[in-house]
Amino acid sequence: MPGPLSHLTVIELAGIGPGPFACMLLADMGARVIRIDRAPAPRRGGLDDLMRNDSVVDRGRQSLSLNMKDPRAVETVLRLVERADVLIEGYRPGVTEKLGLGPDACHARNPGLVYGRMTGWGQTGPLAHTAGHDINYIALTGALHAIGPAAQPLPPLNLAGDYGGGGMLLAMGVLAAHAQAVHTGMGQVVDAAMTDGAALLMAAQYGLMAKGFWQDARASNFLDGAAHFYGTYACQDGKHVSVGAIEPQFYAQLLGLCGVTDPDFEHQWQQGEWAALRAKLAQVFLTRTRAQWCEVLEGSDACFAPVLSMNEAPEHPHNVARGTFVRPDGVLQPAPAPRFDRTPSALPPKAPGTGEHTVALLEGAGYSPAEIQTLVDAGVAFVAVRG
């Protein structure tokens, strides 16, 4: 695949959530990602089925399906590790060690390997071995407490923990470790915890609080919906728009284009007046439809954008011009990002079926056709196609 990481080989021990997202980012940038899948199993419904094989997040992989309870399967993975740059796993602490695929076993085969570990709570700490999900991890960091209306915190999908504080941080971490390994020949373990990552995403808010510019309460601050100049408003047709006119020159342009002449709006940063000003501005936006407000405000410096649905977003002219979304085989999905001028990325192939590349990957690891057939016959390796 083209892209700045076309030299990189990544072993992914299949999972769900942030680990696969990190691998998607690497695959999007050209890395060869070999996913070690469990043996094919009947679909039973639930999250595993929803996220298995046909997910956009799983694009760009090669799939090797193995029965990891068999020592021969473990040996197969270790053979692949010998030729890899990065391994990513998302199990609870200690699980890969029990499988025989922990950092010590892998580094014995390949000292330069970067071993990425993705968990919610981290490899250490009193909660390290307990179950959880994105909402729990961001709850522990102050992030969830800060998001939502005053009455109740609301989860921001699973963006702050799973993907922003998890997968994206892991991808950055393994690339940093790989850059260091290139210079020293020595790999290392990258412990990426969603609690650590979500806390890191809150750096600006903790910094503002330290200076007395942020209240530890929802809907009390200029970025959390309290301020009239930073938030969303309903329009005449029930659709919404967003405004983020923080700076005075942008605020002035917003008011001017909206036809607001009320002198009370001159008190932009008087927090005690925010609620009243928000109510007044809400009435202004109710006078026109979203499309009409786009005609007035879009393209200006009023810091404005329509709030688009997932189906609407790909059709917006800006997103169309940049190719922000793509539809391979009719499947709507975001295109790879960021963009590189010398080694541009390309959309990788769609998610593979479990075991789709088993034979080719075993051949690449040095197994003969007879050995591969023996592994398949013994139920150690599985061969499948897209289904």
Alpha-carbon distance 322 to 320, whole Å?
5
Give the per-residue pLDDT at 54. 60
Residue 206 forms part of a structural domain: no
Q: Domain of 197: which CATH number?
A: 3.40.50.10540
Residues 297 and 148 in one domain: no
Alpha-carbon distance 249 to 242, whole Å?
17
Residues 160 and 307 in one domain: no
Give the per-residue pLDDT at 33. 98
Residues 264 and 138 in one domain: no
Residues 31 and 66 in one domain: yes
Give the tens place of pLDDT for each residue, 44-60. 666 665 555 568 999 99
Alpha-carbon distance 44 to 2, whole Å?
37
Q: Which of 54, 70, 133, 316 is catalytic?
A: 133
Alpha-carbon distance 233 to 307, whole Å?
9
Alpha-carbon distance 207 to 160, whole Å?
18
How many Cβ atoms from other residues are within 10 Å of residue 32's Cβ? 20
Residue 273 φ then ψ, to 5°: -100, -5
- The mean per-residue pLDDT over the stretch 167-179 comes to 98
Burial class of residue 29, CB neighbours in 10 A (0-12, 13-18, 19+): buried
Q: Quick check: 385 pLDDT over 80?
A: no
Residues 168 and 190 in one domain: yes
Residue 216 forms part of a structural domain: no
Residue 224 forms part of a structural domain: no
Give the per-residue pLDDT at 387. 46
Q: Quick check: 339 pLDDT over 60?
A: yes
Residues 64 and 125 in one domain: yes
Mean pLDDT score of the chain, rounded to an integer? 95
Residues 356 and 374 in one domain: yes
Nearest alpha carbon to residue 22 among 153, 185, 169, 183:
169
> Is 301 among the residues known to form the active site?
no
Q: Quick check: 92 pLDDT over 60?
A: yes
Residues 291 and 254 in one domain: yes
Residue 222 forms part of a structural domain: no
List the structure tokens of 158: 């699973």
- The mean per-residue pLDDT over the stretch 379-384 comes to 94
Residue 210 forms part of a structural domain: no
Q: Quick check: 247 pLDDT over 80?
A: yes
Q: Domain of 234: which CATH number?
A: 3.30.1540.10
Please give the distance of CA 272 from its chain centroid, rounded to a whole number: 37
Q: Which of 28, 58, 134, 162 is catalytic?
A: 162
- The mean per-residue pLDDT over the stretch 217-222 comes to 97
Residues 298 and 347 in one domain: no
Q: Quick check: 271 pLDDT over 80?
A: yes
Yes or no: say if 333 and 364 are a contact pair by the CB < 8 Å rule.
no
Residues 365 and 279 in one domain: no
Q: Tell me the three state secondary structure of residue 57.
A: helix
Residue 52 forms part of a structural domain: yes
What is the tally of structural domains in the chain?
A: 2
Give the per-residue pLDDT at 40. 78
Residues 272 and 362 in one domain: no
List the structure tokens of 257: 């284009």
Residues 117 and 29 in one domain: yes
278-286 long-range contacts, CB within 8 A, separation 24+: 278/227, 278/228, 278/231, 280/228, 281/228, 281/233, 282/233, 282/234, 284/258, 284/259, 284/260, 285/233, 285/234, 285/235, 285/241, 285/258, 286/233, 286/234, 286/235, 286/236
> Is 357 among the residues known to form the active site?
no
Give the tens place of pLDDT for each residue, 142-169. 999 999 999 999 999 999 999 999 999 9
Structural domain that includes position 292: 230-326
Residue 14 forms part of a structural domain: yes
Q: Quick check: 307 pLDDT over 60?
A: yes
Q: Quick check: 99 pLDDT over 50?
A: yes
Predicted confidence band of residue 386 (pLDDT cuts 50, 70, 90): low
CA-based end-to-end distance of the chain: 24
Measured over the CA atoms of residue 287, residue 292, residue 295 and residue 299, the dihedral's sign is positive
Yes or no: say if 202 and 143 are a contact pair by the CB < 8 Å rule.
yes
